[in-house]
Amino acid sequence: MSGAVLALTGAATSGGGSGTPGAISWSNISSLAGGATNSQTLSGITGALTISATITGDSTLGYTLNGVNQTYTGAFAWPNGQALSWYLIGPGTGTVTVSGPSGELDAFTYVIRDPRDGEFS
């Protein structure tokens, strides 16, 4: 669902606010060395939605917000109209859970293999 547009009910601000995003579906990742999810674009709100993520596993989590890569270090504001995707670097297996002011928005799994271990079968 690359480039999907998300609509919110109510208003959300950088401080949280009311409104819950509609269906968000970042793709699962299965890759060598690193990989990325599909991109989602936030719309239908005023301001930004503050989101956070938790990760299980050993890979390094990062995100791409409107074309700029960042290593994930904690909660951040996802501004209206901006595209967001997630990426993982380094071998590991786990789950990433993304939450907003009203609770869990989406969860996706990842399997990142070390290239020295060979291709997926």
| 106-115 pLDDT tens trace | 999 999 998 8
Check: CB of residue 100 under 8 Å from CB of residue 24: no
The pair of three-digit structure tokens given for residue 97, joined into one six-digit string: 């859970």
pLDDT in tens, 20-61: 555 678 999 999 889 999 999 887 777 789 999 999 998 999
The residue ranking higher by pLDDT, 37 or 121, is: 37
What are the extents of the domains in the chain?
Answer: 4-115
Check: CB of residue 4 under 8 Å from CB of residue 41: yes
The pair of three-digit structure tokens given for residue 56, joined into one six-digit string: 């299980």
**What is the CATH T-level fold of the domain 4-115, as seen in this structure?**
Immunoglobulin-like (2.60.40)
